[in-house]
Each structure stands twice: as structure tokens, then as C-alpha cells.
Amino acid sequence: MRASVIIPSYNAKERLELNLRALNEQSYDGEDVEVIVIDNGSTDDTMQLLDNFKLKYPMKVIRIEGNRGIAYGRNAGIFEAKGDILIFHDSDMIASRDFIKNHTEMHTESGIVACGVFWKRIFTFFYKAFSPYQLYSFERIMSEKGMPEFYKEDTQILKPGKVTAEELMPWSFDLDFGFIEDLKEIVKKHGKALTGYYLPWRFFITNNLSVERKKVMDVGMFDNNIVRYGYEDYDLGVRLYKSGCKFVMADHIISLHQEHPGNYKPDDLFININYMCEKYNNIYFIDV
């Protein structure tokens, strides 16, 4: 098996459906790809969707009773994976047509960590629970596109026949948080190979990333002690870097993140950062 696409999901049925529809439009038609969806204790109709969805690739579904954290969910998928390459692709992502093809082609040599573009966003749904920043971005994007800006109820905005990042790219926008701008500047300075940059795990963001399964297994996979939201990907990235893996910014691999309300508590990130600082005993090693 060439590659396993790992998709953890929690109460994201409507976004997961668009994710899977985009996978059905992939240019890669090989029989050596599998898709593994991990339902992390969802209480919506995710399992009903998965029971009835017809995917072009073989699909395994893992049901975890109760949400035990995204690290645990991804590890469950890794244990079941048969592919030499793991492609991490979150439930709220919409892949470009060459997404799988491009990821597999990045691994012509051992030890590569291929980091695709992770900062592109799109509104496929309006949610009443959007944050103020999301509402501001939503109104701005809808105004630019001549679409209604105000909705009273949760509403699906885009209903294209074919779901691919290419079809939806005109509706997308770049996340403009400071750390994203920092990472873009790092690529400009150090190049796509991140030559001479000593914190490459900052690019290890698992909504669009691939790495050899053996490398992930060798360093212990995701840390199941990280149950709260955030930085479980950085943690694995640190260990892969220390093991000798080479990180590459693969900016030709595009995937769009569907905006949705956050499902984490304000202190989750701080608790996880503190855990990592204690784990590695070096606060300067963890630049987030």
C-alpha cells in the first residue's frame, strides 16, 4: 500500500461530507491508497454519513466511544494504516485535485516531511457560533463576492456540484494571524527546503502533511497525554526533527480549511504548551 489518508473527525458531519466529496475528485486513481476516518466520539450523524458514503478509495472507519483527544484518534488511524506514507488530512479540509498525487510524489527519498499549504481558509457554512474574527472575515468575504452577508441560522453557503479546492479557490482567503506571516517570511528567507532553519516543526501542521509511517512509529506517534486542543502536531514534529527527518514546505500542495466555531477552551493551548516545555525541559526549544 502506497499511502493512507488519515482523517480524524468530531461532530463535523457537514464539513466531512465536503472533504470526502473532494477526495472523489482526486486525479490519483491508483488502487494503492486507502482512506481511514476516525470518528472521535461524535454525537451528530457522522456515522450515518460514513455508512452510506461511496468513496472511490477503500475506506476504513474507526469509531471511538467518547472523545479521547485528537492525538489518540490519529494514533488509532495510524495503527490501522497499511500505507508506507501517512497523509494527514483533517475532516474540515477540502483537497485540491492533485492532493494525494503530489503528497506521494514528495517521498522519492526517505525521511521527508512534506508540509502542504495550511493557511488557506474558506466559508462553506455560516455558523451562529462564529467568533468575532470569523464574523468579520465572513462579512468581508461575502461582501467582496456579492453574496448575502447576514444569516440568522446555521446555513450552508456553497453548494458546488464538484467539490475541489480549485473550484472554490476564488472564495478562499489566507489566514492573516501573525504566526502565519512569520512562517511565510521564514520560507522566503530559508527557501522551501527550510535550509538553516532550526525550528522546522512549526510547519508540522497536520491538516495538510505527509510523512513515512515507519518514521512516525519509530518516534512513538502522537503523544496520547495531549488530550486538550493544540500542539499535539508540533510535539510529534519536534521528535521527527530530532530523529533526522527533513522538513520541506510543499507550497504546491493546496487544501482549504472550512471555517467553523472553535471547539476548545481558552486555556487548552497554554496547558499544552506548558506540558511540552516540561517534557523537553527547554522553553526556547518550543517556539510557537
Encode pLDDT of 66-121 as tens digits: 888 889 999 999 999 999 999 999 999 999 999 999 999 999 999 999 999 999 99
Could you tell me if residue 63 is inside a domain?
yes
Average pLDDT score over residue span 257-283? 72
Could you tell me if residue 129 is inside a domain?
no
Could you tell me if residue 141 is inside a domain?
no
Has residue 265 got a pLDDT over 70?
Answer: no
Percent of the chain with pLDDT over 70: 88
Band the pLDDT of 166: cuts 50, 70, 90.
confident
Q: Which residue has the cell 527557501?
A: 191
Residue environment code for 197-211, b if the CB has 16+ CB neighbours within 10 A, otherwise e: bebbbbbbbbbbbbb
Residue 171 has a pLDDT of 86
Could you tell me if residue 235 is inside a domain?
yes
Band the pLDDT of 175: cuts 50, 70, 90.
confident
Could you tell me if residue 85 is inside a domain?
yes
What is d(CA 255, CA 50) in angstroms, rounded to the nearest whole number?
21
**Which spans in the chain are helix H?**
13-23, 46-52, 70-80, 99-105, 132-144, 165-168, 178-190, 213-218, 232-242, 268-280
Could you tell me if residue 12 is inside a domain?
yes
Band the pLDDT of 156: cuts 50, 70, 90.
confident
Residue 227 has a pLDDT of 59
Residue 18 has a pLDDT of 95
The domain tally of the chain equals 1
Residue 186: φ, ψ to 5°: -65, -40
Structural domain containing residue 264: 3-121+167-285
pTM, two decimals, is: 0.91
Domain of 101, CATH number, reads: 3.90.550.10
Average pLDDT score over residue span 129-147? 86
Could you tell me if residue 151 is inside a domain?
no
Could you tell me if residue 32 is inside a domain?
yes
